[in-house]
Each structure stands twice: as C-alpha cells, then as structure tokens.
Amino acid sequence: MATITPALETHDHSHADGHGHHEQTFIQKYVFSTDHKVIGIQFLITTVLMLMVGGALALAVRWQLAFPWESMPVIGKVFGLFHGEGGQISPEFYTMLFTMHASVMIFLVIIPILAGAFGNFLIPLQIGADDMAFPVLNMLSYWFMWPAMFCFAVSFVASGPTAGPGNGWTSYPVLSDLATASPSSGAAQTWWLFGLTLVGVSSMMGSVNYMTTIINMRAPGMTLFRMPLTIWSMFITAILQSFALPVLTAAGFMLVFDRLSQLLPTTIHSVFFVPAGIIVNNAAPTVGGGQPLLWQHLFWFYSHPAVYIMLLPAMGMVSDMLACMSRKPVFGYKPMVYSMAAIAGLGFIVWGHHMFTSGMNPALGMTFMTSTMMIALPSAIKVFNWIGTIWDGNIQFNAVFLNCAAFVALFIVGGLSGIFMAAVPVDIYFHDTYFIVAHFHYVLFGATLFGVFAGIQFWFPKMFGRLMNDKVAKVHFVLTFIGMNGTFFPMHLLGIAGMPRRYADPYLHGYLEHLLPMNQFMTISAIIMGFAQFLLLGNFFLSIFYGKKAGRNPWNANGLEWSAPSPPGHGNFDVPPVCYRGPYEYSSPEAEALGQDFILQTTAPPAGVKRTAVHH
Amino acid sequence: MKKFWALFFWFWPLVAILVCAVAPSRGWWFPSAPLSTLGHQIDGLFYLILIIVTVTFVGTQAALGYALWKGATKGSTQKAWFSHGSHKLEIIWTIVPAFILVFISLTQLDVLAEIRVISKFPDSVRNAPVAEVMARQFEWRIRYPKPGQQLMNVPQPGDLYFVNEVHVPAAIPTMINLRTQDVQHAFFVPRLRVKQDAVPGLIIPVWFEIEKAGEYELLCAELCGWGHYKMKARIIADSPKGVSEYLTRLEQEQNEDGVAEVDASKEQ
Ligand code: HEM
Ligand SMILES: [Cu+2]
Ligand SMILES: [Cu+2]
C-alpha cells in the first residue's frame, strides 16, 4: 500500500466496465440503491427530518418547564390528536416526552447522521474507492432504520393513548422491567426495546462495512497516515461501535426476556434484573434473584462509548474543515489520531462514572474517577490542536468555518463541565440534576450538531453539485448559536441550584420556585433556536435545485473526494485516484510552486521529484 | 465583518462569565451554603475545580478568539503559516493538563472515602442507623426502632412508622439505612449535598452530620415513574432530646388503642 502503483490504465478499464453500463430502474437508483452516495443522502434526509421531530418533542418538554400544566399551542394540539388531552401535558405524558426526545435524538439523529450519512457518503470518496466493500449490506443498514422507526412509532401508542415509553433513554429496571411498575412500562417499553435493537442492527451492519472498506479499499498511495482525520474518526468509531454494541443488544434481549416472562410465565422464566421481594403497585412480592445494577453496567458499557460514537466523527470532519478554511495543515496530525485512539480506548473503562451514586463499591468509584479524568486529556489535546490549526491561518469566514469554530468553543464548555462530574464527591451533588443536562447538550448539540451543520454545507456541493446559500447559513448559525447558549448555559446554574432532571413540575419544591423566570427565558431561547432550523431545511432543499453550481472543488480543498465530479457518478471517480501526499498540504511550498494554496492528494509531483518527499 | 466574527467569539464567553459572576446574588447558585460537615468538603472541592476550570475556559476561549482575530486582520495577500505542528508544544500541553487532572483526582479521594467507605464512617454511627428510609412510588416511608431498641432490617413489632418526614439529631453524625420497596429511587437532600440511589434489593447506609437544627427538603433524584417529581419530603434535624421526645410521641400515637373519641370529633 505504501508505494504507488502506476497502473493507471488497467484501473481505468476495470472501473468503467464494472459500473455505469447497465441501466438502472428508478427504484434501484434512488430507493433500494446500493450506491453509498445515495444511501448516505437517504440517511441524511431521514435524520434531518428526525431532528425536527426530536426538536418538537424537546420544545414540548421546555413548554412544560416554563408554563407548567398550561395548554401547549400547536405542538400540544398535534400530540393531542393522539393523546387527547387538549394540549395539556400530564405527568406520564411528560416522562414520555423526554424519553422519546432523547431516544429520537440519540438513536435516530446523531448516531445515524454521523456514521450513516457522513460515513457512507465520505468513506469511499475520501479513500478513493468506487463503493463500500459490501454494498448490499450497506443498503440494508439504511433500510433497517425503518423497522426501527416503526417500532418507536408504535411504542407511542402501544400502551394506550396516554402512555408512550417513559422510563428515560437509560430505561433502568426495575421500572422498565416490571410491566406493572408504571403506565409506560407496558407494551410501550417492549416496542421501545425492539426499536433500540433494530437501530443496533443497522449500526452494526454499517460498522462492519466501514472497517472493511477502510482497511481494504484504499486507493494506491493512500497509506494510513495519509488518511483524512474524517476517515480515522470513522474507522475508530466503527471499531468502538462493533465492540460495544453487542453488549447493549444482549442487555436489551435480557430485558425483553424478563418482560416476556411476565406475559408468558409458563414458557419463559428470567429475572435478570429483578431481585426478590419487590412490591410494585401492591402486587405480590417478586420472586427471583436478579440485580438491577447489572443493567446499569451493561447499558453504560455500551452507552459511554456511544457518546463518543456521537462525537468522534464530528471531530474528524471538523479537523478537515478547519484546515481547509484556515488554508493550513492540521496542527499535529498524528497527535490528533492518537488522541482519538486514546479516547476510544479509555472510553471502554469509564462507564462507571454514570453510576457514582448507585451504591456500587467505592473502590470502583475511585478507579472510574481516575480513568474519567484521564479521558479529558486527549479531549484537551484535540482542542489545543484545533486552535493551533486556525492559528495564523488565512481564515475564510464562511458559515462552514463559523460552525466549526463554534464546535471548538462549545466543546470546551462540555469538556470542562465533565471535570466537575468526574470528581465523585462533586458529582454526588450534580448527578441527575440539570448540570448533567447542560454537560451533554454542550457536547452533543454544541459540538456534534454544529459540526454536522458545517459538514452539511461543506460536502453539500459534492452531494448535489450545487452550493448552499452562505448568507442564509450565517443567519442560521447566529440564531442557533445564541439560542443554544440561551437554552443550555443556564442549565449549569439550575444544576448548581439543585434542580433535578426529569421533573414534570420542579416548582412543587419551594427552593426551586424562584427559578421559573429563568426557565421561561430558556424556553424562549429554545423556541428561537427551533424555528431557526427551518432556515437550514429551506436552505438545504432549495439549494438542491436552485443553489449556485459548484465545480469539482469549490473550496479548493485537498481530499480525494474533490477530484471526483460533483456529484460523482456511479463508481465515483472518472479518473481512478492515486494518492501522492497527506490530505492537509495547504499553503505548502509544493502548492505554491503551482501558484495556489492547496494541492490535491491526487496531484502527481513533477517528474524527478521523489514521490515520498512530503513528510509530516 | 471578519472582525465582527472574531469579536463574536470573544464576546459570548464574557457574557457567560458575567452571568456566573452575578448568579449567586440572583439566587442562581447553591440553594444555601452547605449545612453538613461533608457538604463543606464537597463545596470546597467544587470551588477548587471551579477555579481551575474558569482559568482554562478563559484561556482557551481567549486563544480561540485571538486566532480568529489574527485571521480577520490578516491581509488577503499574506499567506498562511505553513506548519504541521510542534513536538514541543504537544508535549507541554499533554503533560501540564495530565498533572492537573491527576491532582484533581487525588484531592477527591479522601472525601469520597469518608462519604462511602463504611470502615471510614464515624465510629458512633457505623452500626447504629437511627431509621430506615424506604422509598416507594411516590413517597418515603420511615421506620424507627422502638425507643431504646436497635434498628433491625426486618420490621419488628414495636417499630414506629411515619411518612415523608425523617427526624434525626443535629450536630452529631447520624446514619440511616436506605431501601426501596419497588423501583429505583434516589435520596437527595440538596442543602446537605447528600445523594444516594435506593436500589431494589440493597440496603445502603447513608451518613451525614447536620450542623444546625432545622428543616431540609428531601426529594427523589432517580426517575421512578410518572410521579417522580412529587416525592416531596423533609428531614427535620433537632437536638437529640427533641428527637427522642418526638419518637415517644409517635409511639404513644401509634399505641393508642381502638377508636380515639377525642380525635374522631376533631376530624369532622
Ligand atoms: C472531557 C471529557 C468528559 C468527561 C470527563 C465526562 C464526564 C461525564 C460524567 C462523569 C458523566 C456522568 C454524570 C452523572 O450522571 O452524574 C457524564 C454524563 C454524560 N456525558 Fe460526559 N464527559 C466527557 C465528555 C463527553 C462527551 C464528549 C460526550 C458526548 C459527545 C458526553 C456525553 C455525556 C452524556 C450524554 C452524559 C449523560 C448521560 C445521561 O445520564 O443521560 N460526555 N459525562
Ligand atoms: Cu460517560
Ligand atoms: Cu423518583
């Protein structure tokens, strides 16, 4: 792999013959397509629409916190159609709202938009492959999202009109285990678990594909350390996903078995998570020797790595975009790779930090605290390197850059709040308060979602051959940035004030009453932010048809994808790419010799120059 | 316009710091100073981290804003700095934060041990819980041993019961046994900085020393169903004498035989 095969011609033919000559029906081309680009765009559009659904659920949560028990306009009416409560939110409905908000955002938006949409679209293009290693599996990974969404949708109504799944995205047993434990613990919970499992199946198919493709299908000359950081991040994420996910799937099945044993007591007997002697709702005491903490261990063994699955790809993409928009190489490419690997490795040994108050052995608490503190280190290294990347660059202040800069600025906040929570004694106070909610929204919204906004605009011309409107994108950026901080920054203060999360009415408690005006301010910020997303949607869909036409390389970037036509045809590259250098040689002497400030990875060095001349 | 963006990224951290600076005076801060001995230590650790974090926050945001400012004021003909990084810088910004993070971890250990490790509990409370707090959907059931007796894990004939009010002595360490009858809950007393999950199947001892007599709100911090938000209760700290008087009164009420005529008329 390290040396360059000059076999251009032979490649050319095999590609041209393999693809393009057979006619495809509309269905093969746009619906059940095996083309990674179509699948990526399918994922992208599905997840962006799901983002709006998740957002609507969030606004309903915010409505209740700002105007408790008052009829909610518009959204309340829509939900009222299903739940018939005249727009007023009942406590069990409230538990459903935050549960489904988190489930939709995590499992139907963030994970599939990063791996499914960007991973699919970018991996073959950036490594110079004509498609994924397993195109059919790839297609299935998209189409398995639909039964998953179907199960989540059924779960809304499965337990009757007022009770969707309401046990939190973490669904701790015994609450989520015994069907009698709450109105939302019935069939809704089972359907929710099916949905979760199917999302897992989809992710697993994707991950296997990504790993194989990245290992096996790189273009000649694309050595590991010439891969863009996006590819590194997708690679590491796929590894994380495929090692962690089986544990969640197993835990999900265990919970399903526990639940089915209550329905079919003569066929199935399991009590993985239910100890003996539990009395819910005046029912007879349970028999069995299960252990509810087992769920927490299994769940977080997956879900802590999962929070990095929800971030690493954005980190990679932002590194690419920051370099391009600053017209400079990424500062510390190898430290960037190693720190992602360190995050992934450490990510497997920190899950206990979600359980500091759970009654687990304090010696374990100390271990998990230290490993958690250490995971802040690679995060810090990455922040320093991003700032180094921008430093003294020739910055292009477009919406792509601004969203990336926001990614860095807001990730800092989320990383720093993590330190408070890693410190066990301090976390004992903060656990399950709004401080936690502030923390993960700064990393997941502040970092990941801003990275996604940037990524959409950056690779849009490659997807559709047209550019998105930069002015509209800037307005969207400013409104979202202000709305985001207005909504989530005060949550730190609510957490310090001791406001617990998942409360339908915190003001029942005297010491929280005075926080109502602050919550109203946050809700107004959230509404502004929510409506600003219509700018994104409008800009996205209108630009597909009316955007300014883009050539192959509108950003003057270096990656292999920019040597392909926009949009690339089936099989991607008209000239099979050969990679001659790293992806970030902006403003290099070699580029200057050509009279430009970028140099494509595919540009052959002038004859006579040693091919391995460019080192990092 | 370019400068506007650089200023934009300098401006919002300033607002954030400002909001935090005025927060305590507006009631957007801890509900009160800590009112337990462990609470003081926890708050001390919080402020230590707060200082470190604030310095880091200001430093990194200022650097980011400055990098933007530099980019905004750079002439369009000037070229970008061609650099792949610096080995020396990488080493510095790996080692320095690593030391700080290890330092923070080490400062936590003693307090954590005091809170959680049973052998580090004060001798006077280690095997002497004053009450059992049993969480259930959606209330707290308190069980005291018969005055003069020890609390047993299995309910005893003379035990005293009450709902949503825990009486404990102030100014000396006390310990309760935390349990749940149904799903998981968490025992959260914000002013004392105490939080402990009540896990089905486990009995978890929780100790604290309340400094002053008074009332402290107790609420549930682990999602336990639709009524999670209304598990409102209070802890009443009193002199040891006050507590034993309360328990005697409770015993009398509980032992009242048959229909109490006096009370029946009051209830109309
Ligand atoms: C600087 C590194 C980080 C540290 C030290 C850290 C630490 C923590 C700790 C200790 C908790 C548990 C707090 C509690 O429940 O009491 C937590 C929760 C959480 N963190 Fe982080 N974190 C870091 C970065 C991240 C990142 C990068 C993400 C996601 C992209 C993330 C997402 C989350 C989420 C979603 C939760 C809450 C889960 C829940 O309870 O619903 N964290 N973090
Ligand atoms: Cu975690
Ligand atoms: Cu609760």
Provide the domain limits for residue A140.
30-273+287-310
A492-517: pLDDT as tens digits:
999 999 999 999 999 999 999 999 99
Asked if residue B185 belongs to a domain, the reply is yes
d(Cα A181, Cα A253) in Å, to the nearest integer? 19
pLDDT value of residue A158: 80
Q: Do residue A298 and residue A152 come from a single domain?
A: yes
Judge whether residue A460 has pLDDT over 60: yes
Q: Do residue A346 and residue A229 come from a single domain?
A: no
Q: DSSP 3-state assignment of A292?
A: helix
Judge whether residue A20 has pLDDT over 70: no
Asked if residue B268 belongs to a domain, the reply is no
For the record, the structure tokens of A438 come out as 């502030």
d(Cα B127, Cα B149) in Å, to the nearest integer? 13
Which residues neighbour ligand 3 (ion) by CB within 5 Å? B 185, 220, 224, 228
For the record, the structure tokens of B261 come out as 């005529």
Asked if residue B173 belongs to a domain, the reply is yes
A546-561: pLDDT as tens digits:
999 999 999 999 999 9
Q: DSSP 3-state assignment of A271?
A: coil
pLDDT value of residue B113: 94
Asked if residue B82 belongs to a domain, the reply is no
Q: Do residue B128 and residue B248 come from a single domain?
A: yes
Tell whether ligand 1 has an atom less than 6 A from the beta carbon of residue A443.
yes
Tell whether ligand 1 has an atom less than 6 A from the beta carbon of residue A347.
no
Q: Band of the pLDDT at B259, cuts 50, 70, 90?
A: low
Q: Do residue A396 and residue A470 come from a single domain?
A: yes
Count up the domains in chain B and report the number.
2
Provide the domain limits for residue B247.
124-256
pTM: 0.93
DSSP string for residues in A100-169? HHHHIIIIIIIHIIIIIIIIHHHHHHHHT-SS-S-HHHHHHHHHTHHHHHHHHHHHHHTT-TT----STT
Asked if residue B262 belongs to a domain, the reply is no
CB–CB contact B228 A503 (8 Å)? yes
Q: Do residue B60 and residue B139 come from a single domain?
A: no
ipTM surpasses cut 0.90: yes
The CATH number of the domain holding residue A514 is 1.20.210.10
pLDDT value of residue A161: 65
Q: Band of the pLDDT at A537, cuts 50, 70, 90?
A: very high
Q: Do residue A109 and residue A151 come from a single domain?
A: yes
Judge whether residue A608 has pLDDT over 90: no
Asked if residue A327 belongs to a domain, the reply is no
Pick the range with the lowest mean pLDDT from A285-289, A363-367, B117-121.
Answer: A285-289
How many C-beta neighbours within 10 Å does residue B149 have?
11
Tell whether ligand 1 has an atom less than 6 A from the beta carbon of residue A413.
no
Domain end residue (candidates: A494, A514, A548): A548
Residue A83, phi then psi, degrees to nearest 5: -110, 0
A310-334: pLDDT as tens digits:
999 999 999 999 999 999 999 999 9
d(Cα A244, Cα A238) in Å, to the nearest integer? 10
pLDDT value of residue B127: 86
| Chain B residue with the nearest C-alpha to that of A171 | B223
Q: Do residue A532 and residue A598 come from a single domain?
A: no
Q: Do residue B174 and residue B108 come from a single domain?
A: no
In the 3-class helix/strand/coil scheme, how is chain B assigned residue by residue? CHHHHHHHHHHHHHHHHHHHHHHHHHCCCCCCCCCEHHHHHHHHHHHHHHHHHHHHHHHHHHHHHHHHHHHHHCCCCCCCCCCCCCHHHHHHHHHHHHHHHHHHHHHHHHHHHHHHCHHHCCHHHHCCCCEEEEEECCEEEEEECCCCCCCCCCCCCCCEEEECEEEEECCCCEEEEEEECCCCEEEEEHHHCEEEEECCCCCEEEEECECCCEEEEEEECCCCCCCHHHCCEEEEEECHHHHHHHHHHHHHHHHCCCCCHHHHHHHC
Q: Do residue A532 and residue A567 come from a single domain?
A: no
Give me ligand 2 centre to Cα B159, in Å.
42
Q: Do residue B29 and residue B63 come from a single domain?
A: yes
For the record, the structure tokens of A1 come out as 């792999």
pLDDT value of residue A19: 46
Q: DSSP 3-state assignment of A227?
A: coil
Helices (H) and strands (E) counted in chain A, each on its own, are 22, 0
Q: Residue range B89-105: average pLDDT? A: 96
Asked if residue B83 belongs to a domain, the reply is no
d(Cα A201, Cα A209) in Å, to the nearest integer? 13
pLDDT value of residue A26: 78
Q: Do residue B111 and residue B135 come from a single domain?
A: no
Domain end residue (candidates: A527, A548, A569): A548
Asked if residue B171 belongs to a domain, the reply is yes
Q: Residue range A434-446: average pLDDT? A: 97
Q: Do residue A161 and residue A232 come from a single domain?
A: yes
Q: Do residue A49 and residue A165 come from a single domain?
A: yes
Asked if residue B227 belongs to a domain, the reply is yes
Pick the range with the lowest mean pLDDT from A17-21, A212-216, A475-479.
Answer: A17-21
Q: Do residue A577 and residue A452 come from a single domain?
A: no
Q: Do residue B171 and residue B252 come from a single domain?
A: yes
Segment of A258-267, A484-493, B121-130 carrying the highest mean pLDDT: A484-493
Asked if residue A588 belongs to a domain, the reply is yes
d(Cα A414, Cα A307) in Å, to the nearest integer? 12
Name residue, tokens 């100890």. A275
Count up the domains in chain A and report the number.
3
Specify the ligand 1 atom closest to the Cα of A416.
1
Q: Band of the pLDDT at A164, cuts 50, 70, 90?
A: confident
| Chain B residue with the nearest C-alpha to that of A278 | B182
Q: Do residue B166 and residue B219 come from a single domain?
A: yes
Name which of B31, B113, B184 is nearest A175 (Cβ-Cβ).
Answer: B184
Q: Do residue B6 and residue B106 come from a single domain?
A: yes
Q: Do residue A352 and residue A466 come from a single domain?
A: yes
The CATH number of the domain holding residue B230 is 2.60.40.420
In order of A98, A174, A226, B244, B249, the CA distances from A188 in angstroms are 15, 15, 48, 48, 47
Q: What's the half-sphere exposure (Cβ side, CA atoms, 13 Å) at B233? A: 28
pLDDT value of residue A81: 57
Q: Do residue A362 and residue A473 come from a single domain?
A: yes
Q: Do residue A495 and residue A591 come from a single domain?
A: no
